[in-house]
Structure formats: C-alpha cells, structure tokens
Amino acid sequence: MAWIGDFRAAFMLIAVVAVECAVLALNGGECPLQRVAARYTSDRRPNFDIYLPQWLAGRTKIIFGPLYAFGLIATLALWWMRG
C-alpha cells in the first residue's frame, strides 16, 4: 500500500498487525485461540491449528517478524520521502 502511495491504508494494516503482536506478547508468545483448538485434538505439532506446512509453522515469528519490520521501515521511508 505504501508503494502505491496509500499511506492511510498502509498504516492501518501496520496497526492491525501491531495489535496481533500485542495479543501474542500478552499471552506469552502464543495465540489465545490455540488453547481452544487444543481441546479438539491431541495433535501438538507446530501446525496443528493453522494451515501452514510444519516447517513454516514452527518458524513464523523468525520469518515474518523481520518481514514486518522491513515493511514498517520501508513504509516510513516512503512516507518521509513522499511527504
């Protein structure tokens, strides 16, 4: 969104992900819905509650955290340059 100049939408999307990060932080790094899903299966693989390959599900924070940070920095840089 920042690339096409829609900074309002870009910052709204950044805020949505920031809220999700806050929820994860307040729950010890785990999604609160994981406990709900755990009631319905004995499977405890990293991807038991999401539709991701197991190798990716166990590394979501490591992979997507830096991507989020890069997107945030890129958005701020574009906003400042076009501002």
User: Is the CB of residue 76 less than 8 Å from the CB of residue 11?
Assistant: no
- How confident is the model over 39-56, as pLDDT tens digits? 888 888 888 888 889 999
Q: Is residue 41 part of a domain?
A: yes
What does the pLDDT read at residue 48?
84
Q: Is residue 1 part of a domain?
A: no
What does the pLDDT read at residue 6?
96
The mean of the pLDDT values for the chain is: 92
User: Is the CB of residue 71 less than 8 Å from the CB of residue 21?
Assistant: no
Mean pLDDT by 10 residues, the chain (83 residues): 96 97 93 88 85 90 95 97 87
0.85 exceeded by pTM:
no
- Count how many domains the chain has: 1
Q: Which domain holds residue 71?
A: 7-82
Q: Is residue 30 part of a domain?
A: yes
Q: Is residue 70 part of a domain?
A: yes
